[in-house]
A and B are shown apart, each in its own frame.
Chain A
Amino acid sequence: MKKTWWKILCVVILLYTIIQGLGGIVPRQPILNETIRNVYFHVPLWFGMMALMTASMWFAIKYLRNGNIADDEYSVEFANVAIFFGILGFMTGSLWGQFTWGDWLPKDPKIIAVEVGLLIYSSYFILRSSFEDEQRRARLSAIYNIFAFATFIPLVWILPRLTDSLHPGNGGNPAFGKYDMDSAMRMVFYPAIIGFTLLGVWITSLRIRLRVIERLKL
């Protein structure tokens, strides 16, 4: 019971998010209309992805400090699930874009940033697959992970704020927090971020356990 409380919390929060997200009352906005509900799913997925990427980098640093191969496994699996969340966020965003901006893939700095981010993490896996030796692979990919994260952050957080963007909070567009979301929405939105992040950690922990079993079997 000691270790399962956060899984229960995760399920409860996500159920709450889905019920509130599909059935709750949302403010009516001119272009957004009912699609504003997507803010409960699309945005928390991105927050979850960022959290997972940060965790991945954290374990990469930890690996470099003590050379424990388990930390490398953590790092990989966090990156893996981060990519998965990234793709989901991309899909929900694309769906949303079609109904508000009239285009599945508008030219927008944030979308480009995320495409680049997915490219970075894909090349991380290419790098991993090109080494035979376990320790060597772990060390080099940890180095690349930290290096890539450090260049990815300015890309996502700084660049979109300088150029014109369709996303709220960028290029002079007001942020969601200011106008669109009322307090009732925020009561769902903030828990949703926690819920999706917990879900990511849960998936990651399952994958790590699978990996450990496979390693011990060999």
Chain B
Amino acid sequence: MDSTLIMQELKALIEKEIRLEWRQRYALNGMILYIVSTVFVCYMSFALKSKGMEPITWNTLFWIILLFTAVNSITKSFTQERAGRQLYYYTLASPQGIILSKIIYNIVLLLALSLIGLFIYIIFLGNPVQNLLMYLTAVVIGAIGFSSTLTMVAGIASKAENTSTLMAVLSFPIILPMLSMLIRLSKNAMDGLEWNTSYDEILILLAIDAIVITISYLLFPFLWRS
């Protein structure tokens, strides 16, 4: 297959994902409300009683909220469509096209959710970040990494019956290295350190993202057959 055809296929598939999401707007609104209410719960439990929180807690809490939002929003990417319809797509499109379109779509979705989340988080819990651009970089790289890892895991978990439990069990351990690097990078951003101190972290995170996407690309055809 030549590359223009692949691009066309990808475009069509991503368009399909967006349409599907737009038709079920309650799910999207639900995700936004999920992140808003989680932030509000944190606000209630941390900021109201005591005098704010330590910067480290602020940072870690944000990433944990983001992780749970990601798991919740991506779990449905393989389960929202019925098996019959999935079979239909599979006869039309290549597995590589499907996994790439799902990954790209989930990246866009999670980016939107995490930026909204960060905005609300800053409004409620204050802004101790000194280098906001670097923090945003961390959020972008994190969203890419989370969604590519979780898309593949969602594909695996959707084949079993207890999808949501499996999703958490399977994804948390393999996301932990990424999460710890992200927390380090965003901590550097909070302390307002120079960019060149964080090149290592950024490079490793990008490398992990690349590994995950490549492996998903290679393995998904096997997942699709079952």
Q: Which residues of A contact B (CB under 8 A)?
A: 64, 113, 116-117, 119-120, 123, 126-127, 130-131, 135-136, 139-140, 142-144, 146-148, 150-152, 154-155, 158-159, 162
Contacts and interface: CB of A to CB of B under 8 A. Distances in A.
A59 to B, nearest CB: 15
A151 B219 contact: no
Nearest to A123: B169
A126 B166 CA distance: 8
A72 B84 CA distance: 29
Of all A-B residue pairs in the complex, the 4 with the closest CB atoms, nearest first, are A155-B177, A119-B173, A120-B173, A130-B160
A116 B222 CA distance: 26
- Which DSSP category, helix, strand, loop or mixed, fits chain B's interface? helix
A139 B211 CA distance: 21
Contacts of A126: 166, 169-170
Given A140-B223, A143-B223, A158-B204, A151 B177 contact: yes
Given A139-B225, A151-B149, A144 B156 contact: yes
A154 B226 contact: no
B212 interface: yes
Given A144-B156, A146-B219, A116 B204 contact: no
Contacts of A151: 149, 174, 177-178, 208, 211-212
A34 to B, nearest CB: 35
Contacts of A159: 177, 180-181, 204
Contacts of B222: 64, 139, 142-143
Given A140-B223, A150-B211, A159-B181, 6 more contacts: A131-B160, A144-B156, A146-B219, A147-B174, A150-B212, A159-B204
Contacts of B223: 139-140, 143
Given A147-B174, A154-B208, A130 B162 contact: yes
25 contacts: A64-B222, A116-B176, A119-B173, A123-B169, A123-B170, A127-B156, A130-B161, A130-B166, A139-B222, A139-B223, A140-B159, A140-B160, A143-B156, A143-B223, A144-B156, A147-B152, A147-B215, A147-B216, A147-B219, A150-B211, A151-B177, A154-B204, A155-B176, A155-B177, A159-B181
B207 interface: yes
Given A126-B166, A127-B156, A139-B225, A116 B219 contact: no
A116 B207 CA distance: 20
B200 interface: yes
A135 B225 CA distance: 11
Contact of B177 (A116, A127, A146): A116
Nearest to B172: A119
Given A127-B160, A140-B223, A150 B215 contact: yes
A143 B99 CA distance: 14
Contacts of B208: 151, 154
B68 to A, nearest CB: 17
Given A130-B160, A136-B226, A158-B204, A148 B174 contact: yes
A162 B162 CA distance: 37
A127 B161 CA distance: 11
Interface string B143-177: 00000010011001001111000100110111011
Contacts of A136: 159, 226
A64 B224 CA distance: 12
A130 B157 CA distance: 10
